[in-house]
């Protein structure tokens, strides 16, 4: 790709990636998808995201010092989500703007995200929301939300609450740990498991109502915890997880139509 004009004033540099195509049916993005890079350095990650051989890309990369690099124009479809789904939709790349946040991730020494970096993520998201029109808060998601069996990012150290305080994303304070009550885990069966699956699916997670707490259910619960109940990520639907999920569904914002082009 030749050079292009950055979409936002917060962009410091351009690093055009050859890995893109057109959004399906010319649709406008109505989702923001956050990732961590999961590589040892930001430079390695940027090189991969702009290499034709990698077949991956994102619209933006946010470095730990707050520098923002744009790789693909927002109107085009970057290749960041992979096999994924949300609310029944499977072409998440066409639906979303992808933001890679430099962090070595679980494989290379997962660490807290610097405040300067998070401030840059917030500024970038605010710019997207301002320019793109309304994007529903519950469609600001992590990679693990849309690909729970494959991905862990941006992970349980990502400060979703700080984003929510700035008007980005849907968030509720997690219920306390170690509450008494029903817990469900791998191997359990019954109507309670079915209710859990239906509630997760109603929020958008890709899960079937089988009444069986199988590996797929455990993966989705784990992804939910990484985003919304970060104090303990174990794939067990304990009372804290269940109460947090209920609060989340009860406070879900009203549906917002697709963003304007």
* Domain end call among 108, 133, 165: 165
**Alpha-carbon span 79 to 22, nearest angstrom:** 11
Q: Is residue 3 included in any domain, yes or no?
A: no
User: What is the bridge-based pairing of β-strands 96-101 and 31-36?
Assistant: parallel
The answer to whether 121 and 32 have CB atoms below 8 angstroms apart is: no
Which residue in the block uniquely carries the two structure tokens 């540099």? 13
Same domain, yes or no, for 133 and 198?
Answer: no
What's residue 255's pLDDT? 62
pLDDT number for residue 256: 52
CA distances from residue 66 to 10, 123, 125, 181 in whole angstroms, order as listed? 10, 10, 13, 43
Please indicate, yes or no, if residue 204 is contained in any of the structural domains: yes
**100: annotated active-site residue:** yes
Same domain, 215 and 112: no
- Looking at the domain assignment, is residue 8 inside a domain? no
Same domain, 181 and 121: no
**Residue that the structure tokens 């430099």 belong to:** 102
pLDDT along the chain (261 residues), means of 10: 89 98 95 98 98 98 98 98 97 98 98 98 97 92 98 98 97 96 97 98 98 98 98 98 97 63 30
Tokens standing for residue 28 = 């406008």
Predicted local confidence at residue 3, as pLDDT: 84
Cα(124)–Cα(106) distance, integer angstroms:
24
The pLDDT value given to residue 1: 65
CATH number at 214 reads 1.10.101.10
Active-site residue, selected from the candidate residues 100, 165, 180, 208: 100
If asked whether residues 134 and 229 sit together in one domain, one would say no
Residue 254: predicted pLDDT: 78
Give pLDDT, residue 258: 42
Letter string b/e over residues 157-189, b meaning 16 or more CB atoms within 10 A of that residue's CB: ebbbebbbeeebbbbbebbeeeeeeeebeeebe
The HSE-up count of residue 94 (CA atoms within 13 Å, CB side) is: 11
In a domain, 1, yes or no: no
What SS3 state is found at 155? coil
Q: Return d(Cα 152, Cα 223) in angstroms, integer.
A: 7
156 & 194 share domain: no
Which residues, other chains included, contact 73 with Cβ-Cβ below 8 Å and sequence gap of 6+?
4, 7, 59
Tell me if 4 is assigned to some domain: no
Residues 138 and 181 in one domain: no
Q: Whose CA is closest to 144, among 30, 226, 246, 229?
A: 226
End-of-domain residue from the set 124, 143, 165: 165
Number of domains in the chain: 2
Q: Are residues 76 and 127 in the same domain?
A: yes
Residue 6 lies in a domain: no
Residue 82 makes CB contacts below 8 A (sequence gap 6+) with: 147, 150, 151
Distance CA 189, CA 203 (A): 21
User: Which of 209, 86, 195, 102 lies closest to 136 in space, CA to CA?
Assistant: 86
Asked whether residue 150 falls in the same domain as residue 193, the answer is no
Domain end: 139, 165, 191, which one?
Answer: 165
Q: Which domain range does residue 208 map to?
A: 175-261
Q: Give domain status of residue 239, yes or no.
A: yes
Chain-centre distance of CA 84, in angstroms? 11
CATH number at residue 132: 3.40.80.10
> Using CA atoms, how far apart are residues 140 and 135, in angstroms rounded to an integer?
8
Distance CA 62, CA 52 (A): 21
Pair (142, 230) in one structural domain: no
Q: Is residue 246 part of a domain?
A: yes
Any idea what the Cα angle at residue 68 is, between residues 141 and 153, rounded to 5°? 30
Indicate if 82 and 126 belong to the same structural domain.
yes
Q: Are strands 76-78 and 68-70 parallel, antiparallel or unpaired?
A: unpaired
Please tell me whether residues 135 and 25 are part of one structural domain.
yes
Do residue 129 and residue 85 come from a single domain? Answer: yes
């Amino acid at each position: 790709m030749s050079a292009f004009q950055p979409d936002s004033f917060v962009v410091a540099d351009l690093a055009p990636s050859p890995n893109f195509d057109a959004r399906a049916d010319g649709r406008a993005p109505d989702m923001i998808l956050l990732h961590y890079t999961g590589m040892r350095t930001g430079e390695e990650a940027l090189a991969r995201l702009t290499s034709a051989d990698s077949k991956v890309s994102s619209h933006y990369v946010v470095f730990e010092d707050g520098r923002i690099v744009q790789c693909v124009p927002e109107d085009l479809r970057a290749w960041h989500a992979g096999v994924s789904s949300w609310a029944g939709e499977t072409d998440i790349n066409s639906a979303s703007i992808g933001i890679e946040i430099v962090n070595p991730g679980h494989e290379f020494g997962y660490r807290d995200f610097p405040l300067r970096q998070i401030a840059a993520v917030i500024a970038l998201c605010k710019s997207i929301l301002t320019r793109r029109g309304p994007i529903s808060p519950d469609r600001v998601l992590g990679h693990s939300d849309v690909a729970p069996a494959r991905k862990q990012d941006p992970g349980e150290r990502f400060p979703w609450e700080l984003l929510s305080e700035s008007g980005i994303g849907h968030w509720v304070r997690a219920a306390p740990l170690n509450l008494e009550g029903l817990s469900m885990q791998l191997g359990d069966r019954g109507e309670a498991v079915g209710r859990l699956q239906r509630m997760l699916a109603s929020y958008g997670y890709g899960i079937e109502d089988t009444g069986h707490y199988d590996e797929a259910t455990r993966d989705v619960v784990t992804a939910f915890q990484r985003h919304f109940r970060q104090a303990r990520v174990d794939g067990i639907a304990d009372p804290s997880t269940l109460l947090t999920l209920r609060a989340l569904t009860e406070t879900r914002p009203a549906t917002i139509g697709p963003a304007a082009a």
